[in-house]
Structures are given as C-alpha cells and as structure tokens.
Amino acid sequence: MKLLSYFRSAATRLFHRAEVADDLEQELRSHIEHRADDLERSGLDRATAERRARVEFGARERYTEESHEALGGNFLETLLRDVRLAVRKLRKSPGFLIAAVFTLTLAIGANAVVFGVMDGLVLRPLNVPDSQSLWGTVYGVDAGFQSYPNYLDLRDRNHSFEDLAAFSFVFAGLDTGNDPSLAAGFAASGNYFDVLKIQPFLGRFFHSSDERGANSAPYLVLTHAYWHTSFHDDPGVVGRIVAIDKHPFTILGVAPPEFRGTLKFISPDFFVPIVNQDQFATTRTLTDRGTTHSVFETLGHLRPGVTPAQAVADVNAVGAYLAATYPKELSSRTYTLARCGLTSFGGPVRAFVAALMLLAGLILLAACANLGSLFAAHAADRSREVALRLALGSSRQRILRQLLTEALLISLCGGAFGVMASVALLRKLGAWQPFAGAPIHIPVNADASNYVVAFVLALVSGFLFGIVPVRQVLRANPYEIVRAGSAGRLGRRITLRDVLLVTQIAICAVLVTSSVVALRGLERSLHSNFGFEPRNTMLLGVNLTVGGYGMEAVLPVQKRLIDAMGTIPGVDKVGLVNNYPPLVYASAGRENVFKDETRDLKQSNVAVMPYSYDVSPGYFEAAGTSLLSGRDFSWDDTKSETLVAVANREFARILFGSVTNAIGRFVRMQDGRRIQIVGVVADGKYLSVNEDQQPALFMPSLQSPASSAYLVLRSQRDPQELGAVIRNKLREVDPALPGDIQTWNSMLGVALFPSRMATASLGVLEIMGAMLSITGIFGMAAYSVSKRLRELGIRMALGAKRTEVLKAALGRAVRLLAVGSAAGLILGIMASKVLAFIVYQATSRDPLVLGGVVVAMSLLGLLATWIPAQRALAVNPVILLREE
C-alpha cells in the first residue's frame, strides 16, 4: 500500500512537476514575506526587512532541494530536472557536445561492429539444435580433409559420437532448364541432416536409406537462399528434375532459411548425397582410401556424458587402427576435435578476433580518456558556476550527479548513433559477397545483442569519463574560486589528465604499430615470389563435363582450346593446368612420393609429399614460372611415353640435394609407377601466401587428362577487352561451353582475403585511434596555451625568443607524446606476434616499421600542436595584458 501510494505520489509529482515547483516557490516566498512583515513592524524599512528575511531563511537552494526530495518522486523527478539542466548546459557549448558525441559514436560503433563480427564468427554456435555438443574432427594437418573409406570406418568404429556425418564441396554447373550456371554445393553423407537434427522447409531431405552405393542417390536439396534467388520461392520445385553437370538430379526439398550449411565462411547453394560426388570429378575418390580429397569435414553430436577429451582419445584409437590396417595408404596422424563452423581455422580466427576486440576496447578507452580530460577542462571552466552553486547551498553530491547526468547523456547519444552506424555496416558486411562465383561470406549478426552491448558500453564509458572531474569538484573551495577567478593554478605535478593522455597516445601508437606491421606484411605478400607472375595473366576455366564431352574427348578439345587462344593477337603464351592453378581456392592435393630404390611402398617410407599439379606444355612460360634446369614438357610426352615430371627447387633439394642432381633421376609413386624428373622450376606458393616453402611436383596433363582445367594466357592487353575476345574465341570452339574468365590477380583475392581483411580492419581502427589522439593532444595543448596566454604574453614582453615561448607552451604536450609513443611502440611490437597468425610475414623487426611508426606519431603530434603553437606565437603581450 505504501509503495503504491509512493508511486502514485511520484506519478502525480511527475506530471505536475511545474505546478509543484511553482507551489513550493510560492510557499517559500510567502514565508519570507510574512517574516519581512514582522521585521518591518519592528521598525526596519521594507527593503532591509526583506533582505534580512532572506538571510534568516538560510540556504534556500538546499532547502528547495530537500523539500523536493521530501515531497516524493524524487528520483525520477531529479533525474528529469538533471536531464533538462544537462540539455540546457550542453546546448550552450555545441562544439564540446558535437566533439564528444562524435568521438563516442566512432568508438562505440567500432566496438559494436567488432562485437558483431566476433559474435557471428566465434561466440555464436551454428544455427542447429543442440549445437553445444556438435563437434567436427580434424585429421592430420590438412584442415580436416580425409578419405571417404576412412570416414566410414571412423563413423562405424567410434564410440563417442551419436552418429557421424561428412561433407565435401561440389562446384558444378546447375541447369534448371535453359540457363546453366555455376553453383556451389555440399556433397553430404546421407545422415547429414539427421545428424544435425534439422527439418526441411519444404519437401524432404535425403537420408542414409537413400544411399545404395556409388551414384545411387541422384537427389538434390536446395538452400533457402538459392531457392529464393534461382527458383523465385516456387513451392512446385519439389520433384522437379534438374541437371548438374549434365547428370539428372531430383529436387527433394528446401532447407530451412536459418540453415546455411555447417561452415561459417561458406554458404552453399545446394546439397547432394556424397555417394554421388564422383559424378562431378574426373577421378574416382569415393573408393580411394589414401586420398585426402573426398571428405572435407566429419561432424556429429557427442553422446551424452562423453567429454571432448575422451572423444579425441577414441577417434585417435580408430586412427591408429586404420594406420595399422592400411599401412600402404595411410600414415599415422592425429585427430583433434574442433567446433563446427570454423574447423581448423578456429584457432587463428579466434586469436585475431580477440585481438581486434581488444584493440576496439582500447579505442573506446582512449575515447574515454579523451572525453575525460575534455570533461575535466569543461568542469574547470565551469568552476565559477560550481562554486556559486556550492556557496548557495547546493550539495556536492547534487553537482556531481549533474555532471554525471551530462556525461551519460552524451554517452547515450554517442551509443545510439554508434549502434545505428554499426548495424548498418554489419548488415552490409553480412550481405557482402567478396568474390563473385565463390560462396564466401562473412557471418556477422546485427541483432539485439548489438544494441545491448552498445548500451552497456555507452553507460560504462559515460561513467568512466564522467568521474574524471569528480575529484576536482569535491576539492573545490567555493570562496577561493570565486575570489581568484578561473585562472587558478596550473600544477607542475603529473595530473590525472596527463596520465590519461599518455595512455591514449600509447594506445594510438599500439594501433599505428600493428597496422603498419600488417600493411608491410600485406605489401610483402603481394610482392613476394609466388613462383609465377600473376600480373598480365588471364585465366580461362573450362569444365568439359559441363560441355557434355566424354573423357576421350578431353585432350583433343583442350589442345584445340590452347591453339585457338594462341591465335588471339597480343596473347604471347598459353598453357593449361588441371583443376585450379596455384593459390586459387587452396585446391592442390598432395602426392606420396618414394625414392626410386624403395620397394615397400608403405606410408612410413614416403620420402616427400609434394603438392601435385598436372600441366600442359607451355604452362610454365605462360604462368611465368622460370625453368631452372632441364626441359619443359612437350606435346610428345603423351600417355604412352615414359612418365616424366618437373619438380620445384624445394622438391629437388629434399630428395636429391641440388637442382642439377635431380635432372634425369627417377622417383616412385604410390601406385608403383616410376617417374623421371626432366626439369626443375623455381619455388613458389601453392595453397596460401603464408605457407612455408613446400615441395611441388608438376606432371604432364597429357598423361592424366582431367575435364576441369584452367587455361593460362599471358598477354599485355587490357584484361576487360581481352576477356571479351577470349569469350568469343571460346564460342568459336564450342558455343555451348561455359567459361570462367578472370585475371589471375583477381582470383588470388581469395587467398589474400584474410590478410586484406585483417589489414583493412586494423587500418580503420588505426585511423580512429589517430583521430582520437590528435583531438586529445590538440585539446590538451590548446587548453594549456589558453590558460597560460597571460604568462606567455609576459614572457614575450620580457623578450623571450619564439622557441622559448613554444617550449613553455607545448613542452609538456610534446613530452607526453614522446613517452606515450615509446610505450605504445613497445606494446605494439609485442602485440604484432598475434598478427603473424593472419598476415603473412607480419614482423615488427623491420626498420621500416619502426621508422613508419615514429614518423606517423611525429606527424600526428605536429598536426595536433600546430594550431595551439600558432596561437601561442601570435600572442600580443600589450593587448593581452591590457585586457586583464
């Protein structure tokens, strides 16, 4: 009852705020008048009487305040009055308001964006039921790749998983009737959807019961997004038959909209049973136990009560069994478990996102430091007003609450703008498809959690910078301030503001350092030796299976294509590589290679495991790979001839000690074939730009034809124009054959994407940090110059030189800058170790990095102190002294 009446009273007061205040005002006035009447009667004149009455009444402001509190509804009401007062105060200094809100918008926005990315990439599990117990297995070093027979054994022999599903990738031409287009899909085991416990949006999924041996399940499940874009939400698609690489597949159903496959970076267009995956490949991978190609990841729910550690031991036992049972095909490798979604990339991704979050947090801290000193300066400038209010009986608590209200108002405004900007940006990021034709996307979320995070950050930062001037206010002695004016003392001691500024500069220097390190790394990886020359190189991808050719037609058609492309004016060299060229879609497979004298071809005797590529004669010239010794392939190296191969320098070094030793020597392959090394080419990069030097072996595509291949065309011509010519040429050869025409450089984009993203995000954070530092130093320098104008004027009048004036005015700011930069540089160098995970050759032991940071920080300092310095030098002592 009491509570109720309290609220009722509070509500009444709230709605009749003005009335109540007016009422109170009138009552107090009435009191004073009555007292004055009495005093007048005792012989004073009216004016004196009224003055006496007011003095006798006491600290009117305090009593008004206390009365308001006594009247109830005090919290909401004082809050509202504080807010109104704060709005009025802030309106009076719009520059301060805009600077503060803008700073916070940037800082909170950056944090919300990074949080959104972290949420999508790391925090949030896959959008499937019971995702907490869902784990994937990572086998050996090659990011989870393994063979289908191994998967079957692992599925049937483990005791840890409820059931184990597997998937791999399919890139194929999907023909819905008239317009064949390339689409990306998952080849998934029959139990895939059942393991994930999801239900179809439309129709049905395929199940284990649909698998009855190789190519037995020509069924297709569409993702909701692909159904939406390619089938326009047509509910009649179920049961329709479409052609994938010319093979008929029946559409079974559509996956629910929230399910985008079990990888976070890649959203497929469709799912087909993994038993049919050989229909899209030129080699039979389903029965090959030694391959590392046919399964990308296996995943399943752990049984209740089974810990991940137990599961790791269990799957490793299966791995050991497999290695012992199939010594020829498998070597013993270790299994680990990884959270589904990121597979083995989880570690680096988490490290990088955490680092990014840390940096964003630092930005926010820097912003708070900045605003804290701004606020302290603001409060100092208002010290006269504060002193007056204190003298009039306002409590310190009340004044502090007022200051905090202002701080929170600013921070909430900043938070609101920040979250709006970040949500817009996150939506863009989420919809962004960085590569046409590759189903790569950045999984980010812009939802309620972002708003919550931004709100909390806004509150926290508001309190953080709001409490900076607290000590100043608590210590304020009203009489002193009112008497002495605001010129006050400018302490020589190290103040809180100095500490804040140094912190902030250090943070900025950390950001500058890491972003310079990242930039250098990226620059190096762009100009590092790939082992081929991606500039002036066009790629033409053709899949002859899509064109309806049989295997026997592959070589003649490929030869026709190479010859046709060679006739294009301006095209100097043409070559061909099966599947994908190096550094495109991280697609190379490894081959087991034995020494020639090895007879027992078991895994433990493998001499070297090079990446292998099948290339045509002329490929090396077209790709710009230099031949170090020996010869290129010739069109006579056909299937019937002695098997030949070209090794890279690393391969030759490992197996034969030197390049010249390797020429003419033989090696033995897993299937027992002897191959002669006829040439050695320069080392290069194969899967990723930041790999260590790997061995590679090139074999003639003439001896192992594949229907899917890329032609490499070297030409100085403009890529746009050349692309059109190539397309026409392709139509001349076969009008129905689709081709993927891109520059090699643009396809490298995928390989360089992580480092580019890392560098870009660091760059953005760095720019924000730099802006904050500039405003911070500027604020501090400008403030100290304005406070000391009179002193500077006296110095000048007494004949001080310009340099001395500058030293007096800005010495402190410059010293702080130097200290902060040094601290930041050291921290930044330590932090860049994290960067090395993502950005190739990110090292801080680089004179250019050190130099770059020093130059950047000096420029920053110069920029920030330029205007205050000009102002200090422009002091006219005569005018200034007369004014005071």
Partner 1 sequence: MSDQAQLLPGTLDLLILKAVSLGPLHGYGVLLRIAQITGQALLIEQGALYPALFRLVRQGWLKAEWGTSENNRRAKFYELTAAGRKRFREETESWNRLAMAMTTALAASAEEV
Residue among 56 and 447 whose Cβ is closer to partner 1: 56
280 residue type, one letter = F
The 515-554 contact track toward partner 1, x by CB under 8 A, reads: ----------------------------------------
Q: Which of 816, 695, 830, 747 is nearest to 541 (CA)?
A: 747
Distance CA 277, CA 455 (A): 49
Residue 391 engages partner 1 in binding (rule: CB under 8 A): no
Q: Which residue's CB is nearer to partner 1, number 25 or number 636?
A: 25
CB of 68 or CB of 155, closer to partner 1? 68
Contacts of 822 (CB under 8 A, 6+ apart): 509
Minimum CB–partner distance for residue 73 and partner 1 (Å) = 10
Q: Quick check: 400 binds partner 1 (CB under 8 A)?
A: no
Stretch that binds partner 1, among 32-40, 258-266, 368-376, 675-683 (CB under 8 A): 32-40
* 764 Cβ neighbours under 8 A, 6+ residues apart: 110
Could you tell me the smallest distance in angstroms from the CB atom of residue 482 to partner 1? 22
Q: Report the alpha-carbon distance of residue 168 to residue 311 in Å, rounded.
A: 22
Q: Is 644 exposed, middle or buried (0-12, 13-18, 19+ CB in 10 A)?
A: buried
Give me the least distance between CB of 6 and partner 1, in Å please: 9
| Terminal-to-terminal C-alpha distance of the chain | 63
Work out whether 25 is an interface residue with partner 1 (CB under 8 A).
no
Question: Residue 57 CB, nearest distance to partner 1 (Å)?
Answer: 5
Least CB distance to partner 1 at residue 23 (A): 8
CA distance 220 to 191: 14
CB-wise, 35 or 871, nearer to partner 1? 35
The one-letter amino acid code at 827 reads L
Among 14, 28, 351, 733, binds partner 1 (CB under 8 A): 28
Q: Is 66 in the site for partner 1 (CB under 8 A)?
A: yes
Binding mask 244-263 for partner 1 (x = CB under 8 A): --------------------
User: In the chain, what are the helix, strand and coil shares in percent, each to the nearest 5?
Assistant: 55, 15, 30
Q: Does 27 bind partner 1 (CB under 8 A)?
A: yes
Q: Closer CB to partner 1, residue 67 or residue 486? A: 67
3-state secondary structure at position 257? coil
Nearest Cα neighbor of 791 from 492, 522, 516 is: 492
DSSP-based three-state secondary structure for 278: helix
**Which amino acid makes up residue 751?**
A
| Cα–Cα separations (whole angstroms), residue 111 to 450, 621, 726 | 9, 49, 47
Residue 147's closest CA among 340, 344, 337, 326?
Answer: 326
Rounded distance, CA 436 to CA 549, Å?
A: 26
Looking at 170-257, list the stretches that DSSP marks H as alpha helix, in order from N- to C-terminal side.
192-196, 224-231
Q: Which is nearer to partner 1, 31 or 284 (CB)?
A: 31
What is the C-alpha to C-alpha distance for residues 288 and 292, in angstroms, rounded to an integer?
9
- The size of the interface with partner 1 (CB under 8 A), counted in residues, is 25
Q: Which stretch binds partner 1 (CB under 8 A): 62-70, 540-548, 602-610, 617-625?
A: 62-70
Q: Which is nearer to partner 1, 9 or 307 (CB)?
A: 9
Beta-ladder partners of 337: 137
The tokens for 356 are: 């990014």
CB of 45 to partner 1, least distance (A): 17
Q: Is 4 in the site for partner 1 (CB under 8 A)?
A: no
Q: In angstroms, what is the minimal distance from the CB of 823 to partner 1?
A: 52
Q: How far is the CB of 388 from partner 1 (least distance, A)?
A: 18
325 binds partner 1 (CB under 8 A): no
How far is Cα 365 from Cα 536, in angstroms, rounded to an integer? 47
| The binder of partner 1 chosen from 30, 334, 728, 876 (CB under 8 A) | 30
Contact between 728 and partner 1 by CB under 8 A: the answer reads no
At CB < 8 A and 24+ separation, what contacts does 380-387 make? 380/469, 380/472, 380/486, 380/488, 381/486, 383/472, 383/476, 383/481, 383/486, 383/488, 384/481, 384/482, 384/485, 384/486, 386/473, 386/476, 386/478, 386/481, 387/476, 387/477, 387/478, 387/479, 387/481, 387/482
Residue 367 CA, distance from chain mean position: 21
46 binds partner 1 (CB under 8 A): no
Binding segment toward partner 1, per CB under 8 A, in 51-59, 614-622, 698-706, 865-873: 51-59
Helices 847-873 and 496-527, axial angle in degrees (round to 10)? 140
Residue 395 in contact with partner 1, rule: CB under 8 A: no
String of contacts with partner 1 for each residue 839-868, x by CB under 8 A: ------------------------------
Residue from 19, 22, 25, 56 touching partner 1 (CB under 8 A): that is 56
Contact call for residue 283 and partner 1 (CB under 8 A): no
Q: Is 62 in the site for partner 1 (CB under 8 A)?
A: yes
- Taking CB under 8 A as the rule, does residue 22 contact partner 1? no
**Residue 291 to residue 145: CA distance in whole angstroms:** 9
250 touches 237 (CB < 8 A): no
9 contributes a contact to partner 1 by CB under 8 A? yes
Q: Is 75 in the site for partner 1 (CB under 8 A)?
A: no
**Interface with partner 1, residue 19, by CB under 8 A:** no
Spatial CB neighbours of 146, under 8 Å, sequence gap ≥ 6: 139, 140, 292, 294, 295, 298
Minimum CB separation from partner 1 for residue 403, in Å? Answer: 24
Q: Is 72 in the site for partner 1 (CB under 8 A)?
A: yes
- 15 Cβ partners below 8 Å, 6+ apart? none
Distance in Å, CB of 77 to partner 1, minimum:
13
Among 17, 35, 524, 559, binds partner 1 (CB under 8 A): 35
Selected from 8, 16, 34, 84, the binder of partner 1 by CB under 8 A is 34
Phi-psi region of 474 (alpha: psi -120 to 50; beta: other; left: phi over 0): alpha
Q: Which of 25, 69, 130, 234 binds partner 1 (CB under 8 A)?
A: 69
Q: Is 59 in the site for partner 1 (CB under 8 A)?
A: yes
Of 20-28, 105-113, 475-483, 485-493: span binding partner 1 (CB under 8 A) = 20-28
Q: Which stretch binds partner 1 (CB under 8 A): 54-62, 140-148, 231-239, 350-358?
A: 54-62
Looking at 34-42, 211-219, 493-501, 838-846, which segment touches partner 1 (CB under 8 A)? 34-42
Q: Minimum Å distance from CB 36 to partner 1?
A: 10
- Residue 876 interacts with partner 1 (CB under 8 A): yes or no: no
Q: Rule CB under 8 A: is residue 398 a binding residue for partner 1?
A: no
Query: Which C-beta is closer to partner 1: that of 70 or that of 309?
Result: 70
Which positions lie near partner 1, rule CB under 8 A?
9, 23-24, 26-28, 30-31, 33-35, 37, 56-60, 62-63, 66-67, 69-72
